């Protein structure tokens, strides 16, 4: 088989860029130019070959794609409209520039969709870290109300000091109990040393434009509030101010620019509805629908060969769980890490129950190290570079899964970047909505969760404070 060099090992020619203009409506992909702006290639061959797809599933995906395009053109898909137009106000960029200039530490408070996308974007740079000392402050994400974790956060805050810490509080509903608790604790911490005006310069709240506890608390204290769209759920809000503010912090963005995540996502959106052929999202959704028909509530394993992709995996886990887990349908999302989970789960993956689909995420390591093979005794085949060994493990895992008849696909990033993350997340959002349409599920909302939230309030009302 011919191959093309992208990074590390050779890459089969059937990998195609996510924003390629068309994917042939057949059982296999064709090679396309890898000059995709976001730098992502996708190998979907084993994903489609082993899913058991039939013509009816491809036809269903084509109809779903047509319906999705019609709804998008009519403004009926707010998450795509938000991606296309960007936030109505650019005030978030002013705040990002101020926080980048004034802070050594930014604390981003939120839960679920209010946090995962932003955390993924901050980890998208080549350093694989949310802290780049030369250009940006450290960004830490706080959502846990575990007392021990909160105590550790307090220690971190004390290390940096009130004058060098900025905070972002995010809750779409404005009623998230964890966010409200952190709001109280952090403003109390500020109040020990700073005047009210100084606190206002270091804090911002993101919530929808309707009355809520968070908005009331913020406005009473003069804390700036940015509106988040009420019609875009948290897991779909990556390209609203919820995800774009943390993405912009520390970046060299002028008042006329936008974060790179939007450019990557728009490259996918611009080619999501080809006049001819099949988009990658539609082909993937067809395969997933066929597999769901065969195995019911199957397992969707996301295996990342890059530790910095862990927040991206967490975001995708929520997207799958909350969008598809309805009416006794859906996939059970599982996250795994290479090479660690090769030693703990590979036996199950290759020889266990067949109801599992696999997504491999790959990107080149920011650094490569030489393996000093002294004293003598290593076999001749043992590599001299860690990157070669790392890539061999990923290649072998993908090949073994395919050889065992498991549906497996690989997304390969030519380099870690916000544009690449934006493109991949846009692809996965569109794919998930298409799959929900095929399965007859409403991908928006999470009605089953609301009961638990209400029970928390009921329990607290019975507790003496």
Tens digits of residue pLDDT in 267-277: 999 989 998 87
Q: How many CB atoms lie within 10 A of CB 126?
A: 15
Query: For this structure, is 453 an active site residue?
Result: yes
Give the integer Cα–Cα distance in Å for 30 and 14.
5
Q: Is the pLDDT of residue 461 over 60?
A: yes
Q: How many CB atoms lie within 10 A of CB 411?
A: 25
Convert the pLDDT of each residue in 294-335 to its tens digit.
Answer: 999 899 999 999 889 999 999 999 999 999 999 889 999 999
Distant-in-sequence, close-in-space partners of 436: CB < 8 Å, separation ≥ 6 = 323, 324, 442, 443
- Catalytic site residue from 31, 178, 293, 453: 453
- Output the six-digit token pair for 87: 């936030």
On whether the CB atoms of residues 93 and 245 are closer than 8 A, the answer is no
**How high is the pLDDT of residue 73?**
95
**How high is the pLDDT of residue 22?**
40
Q: How many CB atoms lie within 10 A of CB 150?
A: 14
* 170-186 mean pLDDT: 95
Q: Is the pLDDT of residue 1 over 50?
A: no
Query: For this structure, is 50 an active site residue?
Result: no
User: Which residue is listed with tokens 């789960």?
Assistant: 345
Give the integer Cα–Cα distance in Å for 95 and 90.
9
- Catalytic site residue from 57, 172, 306, 322: 322
User: Which residue is listed with tokens 């009210």?
Assistant: 196
451 sits in which H/E element = helix 447-461
Q: Is the pLDDT of residue 18 over 80?
A: no
- Catalytic site residue from 276, 343, 374, 458: 343
């Amino acid at each position: 088989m011919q191959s093309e060099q992208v990074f590390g090992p050779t890459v089969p020619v059937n990998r195609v860029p996510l924003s390629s203009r068309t994917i042939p409506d057949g059982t296999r992909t064709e090679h396309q130019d890898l000059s995709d702006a976001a730098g992502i290639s996708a190998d979907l061959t084993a994903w489609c070959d082993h899913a058991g797809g039939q013509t009816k599933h491809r036809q269903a995906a084509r109809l779903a794609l047509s319906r999705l395009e019609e709804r998008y053109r009519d403004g009926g898909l707010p998450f795509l409209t938000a991606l296309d137009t960007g936030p109505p106000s650019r005030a978030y960029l002013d705040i990002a520039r101020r926080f980048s200039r004034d802070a050594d530490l930014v604390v981003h408070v939120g839960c679920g969709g209010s946090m995962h996308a932003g955390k993924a974007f901050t980890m998208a740079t080549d350093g694989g870290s949310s802290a780049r000392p030369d250009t940006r402050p450290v960004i830490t994400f706080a959502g846990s109300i575990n007392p021990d974790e909160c105590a550790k956060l307090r220690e971190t805050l004390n290390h940096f000091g009130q004058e060098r810490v900025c905070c972002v509080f995010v809750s779409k509903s404005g009623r998230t109990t964890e966010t409200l608790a952190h709001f109280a604790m952090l403003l109390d911490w500020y109040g020990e040393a700073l005047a009210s005006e100084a606190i206002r310069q270091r804090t911002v709240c993101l919530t929808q434009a309707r009355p809520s506890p968070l908005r009331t608390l913020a406005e009473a204290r003069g804390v700036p509030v940015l509106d988040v769209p009420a019609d875009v759920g948290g897991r779909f809000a990556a390209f609203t101010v919820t995800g774009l503010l943390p993405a912009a912090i520390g970046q060299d963005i002028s008042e006329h620019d936008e974060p790179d995540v939007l450019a990557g996502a728009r490259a996918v959106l611009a080619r999501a509805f080809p006049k001819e052929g099949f988009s990658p999202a539609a082909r993937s959704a067809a395969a997933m629908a066929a597999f769901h028909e065969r195995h019911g509530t199957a397992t969707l394993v996301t295996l990342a060969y890059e530790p910095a992709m862990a927040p991206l995996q967490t975001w995708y886990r929520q997207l799958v769980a909350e969008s598809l887990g309805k009416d006794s349908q859906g996939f059970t999302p599982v996250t795994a890490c290479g090479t660690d989970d090769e030693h703990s789960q590979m036996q199950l993956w290759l020889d266990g129950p067949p109801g599992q689909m696999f997504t491999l995420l790959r990107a080149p390591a920011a650094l490569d190290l030489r393996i000093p093979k002294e004293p003598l005794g290593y076999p001749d085949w043992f590599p001299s570079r860690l990157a070669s060994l790392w890539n061999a493990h990923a290649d072998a895992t993908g090949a073994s899964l395919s050889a065992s008849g498991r549906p497996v696909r690989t997304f390969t990033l030519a380099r870690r970047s916000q544009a690449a993350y934006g493109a991949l997340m846009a692809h996965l959002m569109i794919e998930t909505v298409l799959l929900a349409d095929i399965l007859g599920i409403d991908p928006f909302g999470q009605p089953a969760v609301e009961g638990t939230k209400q029970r928390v309030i009921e329990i607290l009302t019975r507790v003496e404070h």
